[in-house]
Amino acid sequence: MRTPFLLFTRSCKAIYRLQRSPFFSPVSALCRQQTISVLRNTSTVSCEDDRSYYITTPIFYVNASPHLGHLYSAVIADCLHRYKLLQGFNSKFATGTDEHGLKIQQAAEAAGKDPLIFCTNVSERFKHLFNSCDISYTDYIRTTEQRHHQAVKHFWSVLWNKGFIYKGSYEGWYSTQDESFLTALQVGDAVDSSGNEIKVSLDSGHKVEWMKEENYMFRLSAFRSQVLEWLKGNPRAIQPELFYQTVLQWLQEDLPDLSVSRQRSRLQWGIPVPGDADQTIYVWLDALVNYLTVAGYPDKHNQWWNVAHHIVGKDILKFHALYWPAFLLGAGLPLPQTIYVHSHWTVGGKKMSKSLGNVVDPLERSKKFTTDGMRYFLLRQGVPDSDCDYTDDKVFKLLNSELADSLGGLLNRCTAPALNPAQVYTAFCPQSFPSEQGCRAVVEDYHMLDAVKKLPAVVENHYESMHVYKALEAISACVRQTNGLVEWTVPFEGRALGSDTGVLFTRLENLSMDKQNLYKTKKAKK
């Protein structure tokens, strides 16, 4: 069941008001497909100019199918990539899957599958989701690829040769779910579903285990002051500001050296340490290097590696804002330009996760609400600084009010053939908007014009700081103001009186005095 809300006469897109049943528009899918191939083709061109831009999503763990939170990271990156293309940048956009580590090894075991087959299967699901949702990535990386193995081994050897990796031993807490080492202060007590007392990460709530192993350590402690210096000199390196402050806070404490390998006997599913087949490289070191692999490391990364921007969820800030800069400094490579951090989608107040059984299927929802609808919702309602709770009802209400009613209504009013038979961008009537005083326009109309004029700069500013929701809010406010103008100037009444041209907003004086007074009273009440 679908109700056409309006049809754009010069475009193949249609806007429909959402019904409470699923629908899908094959016409807009076709248009999107064309747009995507153009975006992909444009951005693979290699160029040496300073208008290169490189944006990445985190690479996604393949232990489970994608959920809405994953799509959110990808939609933000896609949005910034498209924005840069519109600005004329040569933009590279990487996404992909993180396939090594204990967590994946255990997931494959539990599924009774060969790890590579298991990874390929889930990786394809992510790819399918991103293709279906118009994520216009230019490179899809899998950490099981040969090019990545080479990059990681090279990167390791550089750190080793410079003396930043040493053989040692690690004793402490480890969370397999987060693939993260934790200090005693980061761990608390909890009880599992069977009533057993367990230790958990205070941050993620995931179970932790005590481990004691001989392995390789990275001299993280040696980089604390350099990372701090970098951040002090680049206050916009981590955005939004809230997360920048969080990292500065972390850096007030000492950084312990980091274990960067696991014994092969425990972890087989990973890249072996060069020169030591008994050890496997720590999955986070392996995963972070994906950004370099896509950039062409170790031979051809210079064009892209100076202009890298990472999108990350707040749960993985530590890895990107502490470990990654330290690794890069150790390897003598430039640091990322920006780390854009976003918060989480929750369901019933809890972070979406497979273990909690509260995941929202993004593919199913984008069929229900359309791809553009879902993308709009995520960007419009997702606030980077704080978590947002997801409900279908919120999507339904937002899309109907802002896209179908407000934007759709405005377009309908401006482009309906009966109102705008010439199908042109109409000029303002000189009696309505003269520069001198005494015209029919009222002060709100000038505010609207002013807001529309300033809109590109406002939007640009918000995009630059990853506040996409604020950009959309500003656009939506202009749409509302413009709708207000249309309501006040009643071009539809003018048409009823026989308006002949495509020039709108000219006819109030042609109405009977009664009607004019009615509209003026309505306006005054507002």
The answer to whether the CB of 492 falls within 8 A of the CB of 413 is yes
**Nearest in space to 217 (alpha carbons), one of 250, 181, 185, 249:** 181
The answer to the question of residue 390 lying near ligand MSP (CB under 6 A) is: no
Looking at the Cβ atoms of 119 and 490, the one nearer to ligand MSP is 119
Looking at the Cβ atoms of 89 and 319, the one nearer to ligand MSP is 319
Looking at the Cβ atoms of 15 and 288, the one nearer to ligand MSP is 288
103, 344, 413, 470: which one contacts ligand MSP (CB under 6 A)? 344
312, 407, 466, 490: which one contacts ligand MSP (CB under 6 A)? 312
3-state secondary structure of 159: helix
Cα-based angle 270, 275, 277 (whole degrees, multiple of 5): 45
Give CA–CA dist 84/434, Å, rounded.
37
Interface with ligand MSP: number of residues (CB under 6 A)? 20
Q: What track of x and - describes contact with ligand MSP for positions 75 through 114 (by CB under 6 A)?
A: -----------------------x----------------
3-state secondary structure of 15: strand
Q: Which stretch binds ligand MSP (CB under 6 A): 4-12, 22-30, 64-72, 242-250?
A: 64-72
Q: Which residue's CB atom is positioned nearest to ligand MSP?
A: 313
93, 244, 345, 376: which one contacts ligand MSP (CB under 6 A)? 345
**Nearest in space to 115 (alpha carbons), one of 270, 326, 327, 243:** 270
Displacement of CA 134 from its chain's centroid (Å): 13
Q: Which stretch binds ligand MSP (CB under 6 A): 180-188, 229-237, 344-352, 485-493?
A: 344-352
Token digits for 17?
């008001």
The answer to the question of residue 142 lying near ligand MSP (CB under 6 A) is: no
Q: Which stretch binds ligand MSP (CB under 6 A): 87-95, 238-246, 313-321, 462-470?
A: 313-321
The answer to the question of residue 145 lying near ligand MSP (CB under 6 A) is: no
Distance set, CA 58 to CA 10, 72, 101, 233, 456 (Å) = 39, 11, 16, 25, 29
16, 54, 55, 70: which one contacts ligand MSP (CB under 6 A)? 70
The answer to the question of residue 286 lying near ligand MSP (CB under 6 A) is: no
- Burial label for 513, CB within 10 Å (0-12, 13-18, 19+), is exposed
The answer to the question of residue 313 lying near ligand MSP (CB under 6 A) is: yes
Looking at the Cβ atoms of 75 and 217, the one nearer to ligand MSP is 75
Token digits for 337?
């330009």
Q: Mutual orientation of helices 468-489 and 408-415 as an angle, nearest 10°?
A: 40
The answer to the question of residue 506 lying near ligand MSP (CB under 6 A) is: no
247, 316, 322, 363: which one contacts ligand MSP (CB under 6 A)? 316
The answer to whether the CB of 315 falls within 8 A of the CB of 204 is yes
102, 288, 378, 459: which one contacts ligand MSP (CB under 6 A)? 288
- 242-276 burial, b at 16+ Cβ within 10 Å, e below that, comes to ebbebbeebbeeebebbbbbbeeeebebbbbbeee
The answer to the question of residue 408 lying near ligand MSP (CB under 6 A) is: no
54, 58, 429, 445: which one contacts ligand MSP (CB under 6 A)? 58
The answer to the question of residue 495 lying near ligand MSP (CB under 6 A) is: no
The answer to the question of residue 260 lying near ligand MSP (CB under 6 A) is: no
- Burial label for 295, CB within 10 Å (0-12, 13-18, 19+), is buried
- Burial label for 468, CB within 10 Å (0-12, 13-18, 19+), is buried
The answer to the question of residue 352 lying near ligand MSP (CB under 6 A) is: yes
The answer to the question of residue 126 lying near ligand MSP (CB under 6 A) is: no
The answer to whether the CB of 102 falls within 8 A of the CB of 86 is no
The answer to the question of residue 315 lying near ligand MSP (CB under 6 A) is: yes
Which residues here bind ligand MSP, judged by CB under 6 A?
58-61, 69-70, 72-73, 98, 287-288, 290, 312-313, 315-316, 344-345, 351-352
